[in-house]
Amino acid sequence: MAEYTTEVRIPDTSRWSGKPVRDLKLSKDGEIIILGIVRGQIRIIGPSSMEIVKSGDVLILEGNTEALNKLAKTSDIEFVGEKNFVKEILSEDEKGLFEAVVLPGSIMVDRTAKSLNMRWRYGLNLVAVARKGQRLRTRIGTIVFQPGDLLLFQGRPDVMSESMQVLGTILIGNRGRLGSKPSDMWKAVLPFLVSVGLVAFGVLPVEISFTLCSFVFLVSKVLTLREAYSSVEWPILILLASMIPLGVAFESTGAAGTLANIIYDLGGGVSPVAGLSLLMIFTVLLTNLINNAAAAVLMAPIGLEMATKFDSNPDPFLMGVAMAASAAFMTPIGHQSNTLVMGPGGYRFEDYWRMGLPLTLVFFLMAIPTILYCWPFH
């Protein structure tokens, strides 16, 4: 970062003196950002957009060479020349740098840092963007964000978590002082473990147990109401709400029976093991293209029809669908977690196929015998 970092002083005659940070026109497309301000003995890390710049202030700037050269031609600043404050402002203890990944469905997707106005709205400096393991060297303000992009932000730790949540990103690391106390961790872990235990021992239904757990989180302030609402995956809920009627239509119109006949015939119509295997293969192929819950909703009626054809217990077929729907290993679009690691890991689409196919084969070798042992056909 030091390669792109410099120091400038605000002279008494500068037009910038007395203006807030948001009014400083450092560059056309946001190529230059203010990392900090040195004001006598005061050090301001990641200054707010409302921070007033005063004469004599030293600004710590980061930008590309072209943008800094253009800035050097103005009479509103003086280059300090020696980097006396850069290491101090950007010290490992307080530089406030955080790494985050853009999630699918984030408000940042298909938008730029300039259009989001991050400093003014969220108090964040966007320092760098990496995609597929490579840092993008184009103008930061004009980069169109994509799911999986790895972002390096600078900002105050006390506002970082909320800003990340609003933007639809997830923190994967930080070089600041963002963290939780162990007592706060146990406030979350204990109610969750109790809820799991209540469900496991049949004391409460799963929906009531985990609803109570969420209520405890809210009362104990582990989770705010805003965080609770924003954490709901509304696109997934809408997708499932759309898919459930489609699954019912599959069954009521006979489409599930038709597809079950095709799978039945492909398996020779003799062995339910072959039928189960084919059902799971089709489910795995589908779940790597669409949401896993949607794949399970669509394939479950077909599994029931398969059980009827083999005059079998439906449990192994339904469990096969449930397990196969979770085996989205072969594409980056099969599950949000696959997309999430694509950018930081520098993975390509074909990397998922190369690793996912052997992993899927191992899954089949383990899943089918387990299903047959735990849920026999008869």
Asked if 239 and 356 sit in the same domain, the reply is yes
pLDDT of 48 strictly over 70: yes
DSSP state of 315: H
Asked if 251 and 317 sit in the same domain, the reply is yes
**pLDDT at res. 173:** 58
- And the tokens for 289? 């293209």
Where in the sequence is the domain holding 313, given as residue range(s)?
A: 234-374
Contacts of 121 (CB under 8 A, 6+ apart): none
pLDDT band at 251 (very low <50, low <70, confident <90, very high): confident
In angstroms, rounded to a whole number, what is the distance separating the alpha carbons of residues 215 and 194? 13
Q: What is the CATH number of the domain that holds 57?
A: 3.30.70.1450
- 6-15, 22-31, 75-84, 335-344, range with the lowest pLDDT: 75-84
Asked if 241 and 354 sit in the same domain, the reply is yes
Asked if 339 and 247 sit in the same domain, the reply is yes
The domain tally of the chain equals: 4
Is 176 or 250 the better-scoring residue by pLDDT? Answer: 250
Asked if 349 and 254 sit in the same domain, the reply is yes
**pLDDT at res. 89:** 54
**pLDDT at res. 266:** 79
**pLDDT at res. 87:** 52
pLDDT band at 370 (very low <50, low <70, confident <90, very high): very high
* Percent of the chain surpassing pLDDT 90: 16
pLDDT band at 227 (very low <50, low <70, confident <90, very high): confident
Contacts of 366 (CB under 8 A, 6+ apart): none
- pTM listed for this prediction: 0.57
- 106 touches 168 (CB < 8 A): yes
3-state secondary structure of 107: coil
Asked if 78 and 11 sit in the same domain, the reply is yes
116-161 residue pLDDT tens: 877 777 777 777 788 876 666 666 677 889 888 888 887 777 677 7
Domain stops at, among 89, 110, 129: 89
Is 151 or 174 the better-scoring residue by pLDDT? Answer: 151
In angstroms, rounded to a whole number, what is the distance separating the alpha carbons of residues 288 and 214? 31
Mean pLDDT, the chain, whole residue set: 79
Terminal Cα distance for the chain, rounded: 66
**pLDDT at res. 324:** 94
Asked if 251 and 353 sit in the same domain, the reply is yes
In angstroms, rounded to a whole number, what is the distance separating the alpha carbons of residues 308 and 254? 13
Closest CA to 90 of 211, 175, 203: 175
Asked if 68 and 134 sit in the same domain, the reply is no
DSSP state of 145: P
Looking up tokens 């393991």, which residue turns up? 133
pLDDT band at 21 (very low <50, low <70, confident <90, very high): confident
pLDDT of 22 strictly over 50: yes
- What mean pLDDT comes out for the span 103-116? 84
Domain stops at, among 63, 89, 115: 89
Closest CA to 153 of 127, 123, 172, 177: 127
- 29 touches 137 (CB < 8 A): no
Long-range contacts made by residues 171-175, C-beta under 8 angstroms, separation at least 24? 171/98, 171/99, 171/100, 172/99, 172/100, 172/101, 172/344, 173/98, 173/99, 174/97, 174/98, 174/99, 175/92, 175/95, 175/96, 175/97, 175/98
